[in-house]
Amino acid sequence: MAGKVAVVTGSNKGIGFATVKLLCKKFNGTIYLTSRDEARGKAAVADLNKLGLKPAYHQLDVIDRSSIERFRDHIKKNHGGIDILINNAAVANSVSLYNSYEECKYIIDINYKSLLTIQELLFPLIRNNGRIVNISSDCGHLSNIRNKYWIERLSRKDFSVKDVNEFVDWYLDSMKKGTFNKDDIADEGTLAAYRVAKVGVSALTILQQKELEGRNISVNSMHPGLVRTDMTVGVGFYDIDEAAETPVYLALEAPQSLKGAYVWYDRQVLDWYDYKADWYFKSSTLQK
Ligand SMILES: NC(=O)c1ccc[n+]([C@@H]2O[C@H](COP(=O)([O-])OP(=O)(O)OC[C@H]3O[C@@H](n4cnc5c(N)ncnc54)[C@H](OP(=O)(O)O)[C@@H]3O)[C@@H](O)[C@H]2O)c1
């Protein structure tokens, strides 16, 4: 039971994989590489073993409630708790800038709604003084939203999870009904589902911080930069090892007083509520 525990979701490849790799070098404890597909996860562990690094492995599909429950039970039984949780798993469709309703629902289920199930099932295991890092995006800054009603509702410092859920469902509903208005989202409504989901992630982070404040657990969301991974079809100014540095900084080195913040890849803390700022994602940056 003794010893600290770190967990990274969706870590068989990309930024999550590099985050596990860097944690293996810097964190004194057990580091869980997790993946929805066991074969892909174990292949990733084997790659790290070749470098002399020894993460633990467990299957974890963030949209499969029973998978999260199995993981929770495993952690409870073998370690008793979690010290560091990095919610990294996500999907996007960077090839087409506009998605069908089914694609949007899938993106929102994995990128946003999964965090609500993780909050319910895994947060009770987070130890006092622990740290949670939610990997968001520049798509997750409030300036990605142009709809006045939702800017106002999410700008209120006392917004609740009901507000965030209704925001996400408002968007999904507009996709289902075919009434989505591109002007409601920055950059002509491109990658709207991904932006809505990541705005949800960063908004939820603020609420999760309030919930866990009493146990001195920090919860921050961050934008990792434009990183060369499968998600961006190889476009980016950063490689995965460089991109892992800020999540690991937030998990291990940032002052414990940094709480409920929205952090840029260069570690700058930005005002998430500044809806007029120029921090939103521009899809033109995906052109090679
Ligand atoms: N790359 C960028 O420029 C960039 C920019 C801003 C934010 N981000 C964020 O950074 C994080 C990592 O992205 P990345 O670029 O490294 O993407 P990636 O290479 O596509 O990796 C995504 C990871 O998430 C996993 N995943 C997807 N659905 C899952 C599920 N249901 N359960 C568990 N794992 C699941 C994938 O597993 P499979 O192999 O099974 O698909 C994969 O391991 C994401 O949160 C992303 O939104 C990335």
Domain spans, the chain: 4-93+110-138+198-281
Instruction: Give the single-character DSSP code of 161.
Output: H
Whether residue 14 is predicted with pLDDT greater than 70 in this model: the reply is yes
Out of 101-110, 198-207, 278-287, least confident range: 278-287
Residue 88 CA, ligand 1 centroid: distance in Å: 6
Name the residues annotated as catalytic.
194
Nearest CA to ligand 1 atom 47: 90
d(CA 208, CA 286): 31
What kind of architecture, by CATH, is found in domain 4-93+110-138+198-281?
Answer: 3-Layer(aba) Sandwich (3.40)
From the CA of 282, how far away is ligand 1's center (Å)?
Answer: 19
CA–centroid distance for 20 within its chain: 15
Instruction: Select from 184, 189, 265 the least CA-distant residue to 221.
Output: 265
CA of 152 to the centre of ligand 1 (A): 30
CA distance 224 to 221: 10
Using a cut of 0.75, tell me whether the model's pTM lies above it: yes
Query: Residue 169's pLDDT is what?
Result: 98
Q: In what order do the strands lie in the sheet containing 126-135?
A: 56-59, 29-35, 4-8, 82-87, 126-135, 218-222, 262-263, 269-270
Distance CA 232, CA 93 (A): 8
Cβ–ligand 1 distance for 16 under 6 Å, the answer yes
Ligand 1 centroid–CA 28 distance in Å is 25
Q: What is the rounded average pLDDT of the residues 42-58?
A: 98
Question: What is the crossing angle of helices 161-177 and 192-212, to 10°?
Answer: 170
The residue assigned the tokens 């800038």 is 97
Task: Identify whether the C-beta of residue 256 lies closer than 8 Å to the C-beta of residue 220.
Answer: no
Confidence class of residue 94 from pLDDT cuts 50, 70 and 90? low
Residue 200 CB less than 6 A away from ligand 1: no
Q: What is the pLDDT of residue 247?
A: 98
Residue 287 scores a pLDDT above 90: no
281-286: average pLDDT: 90
Q: Is the pLDDT of residue 28 over 80?
A: yes
Give residue 251's pLDDT band: very low, low, confident or very high (50, 70, 90). Answer: very high
Q: Which pLDDT score is estimated for 288?
A: 57
Residue 90 CB less than 6 A away from ligand 1: yes
Measured between its terminal Cα atoms, the distance across the chain in Å is 49
128-138 residue pLDDT tens: 999 999 999 99
| Residue 163: other Cβ atoms inside 10 A | 16
What does pLDDT average to over the chain? 97
Q: Is the CB of 231 under 6 A from ligand 1?
A: yes
Cβ–Cβ contacts within 10 Å for residue 25, how many?
11
pLDDT digits (tens, 9 = 90+) for 176-204: 999 999 999 999 999 999 999 999 999 99
